Amino acid sequence: MIVITSAELRNNMEKYLDMAKTQKVIIQRGKTETFVLSGGVVEPDLVLKEAMTAEEMLVGIEEDVRELFRKNHKG
């Protein structure tokens, strides 16, 4: 694992992307933001398995809209 600044990443992007194939690269941006860069292959089946269907999304949106309506029209 290596820790670098966002400026260092910007200046040497290819180097750190290659490095991230074998180890985690921690990017420190300012005093409060930290990111982890790590390589690997994204399995399409895994992504699809974790994805939300359009129907699930619409149900969630409908629930949120109903809740907002209830909060704004009390009383």
Quickly name the fold that domain 2-72 has. Answer: YefM-like fold (3.40.1620)
pLDDT score for 48: 76
DSSP track, 25-52: EEEEETTTEEEEE------HHHHHHHSP
Q: In this predicted model, what pLDDT tens digit does every residue of 19-66 receive, in sequence order?
A: 998 999 999 999 899 999 888 776 777 777 778 888 899 999 999 999
Q: Measure the CA–CA gap between 18 and 38, rounded to whole angstroms.
A: 10
- Report the run of H or E that residue 9 belongs to, with start and end: helix 6-11
> What is the pTM (predicted TM-score) of this model?
0.53
pLDDT score for 75: 60
* pLDDT exceeds cutoff 90 at 73: no
**Where exactly are the structural domains of the chain?**
2-72
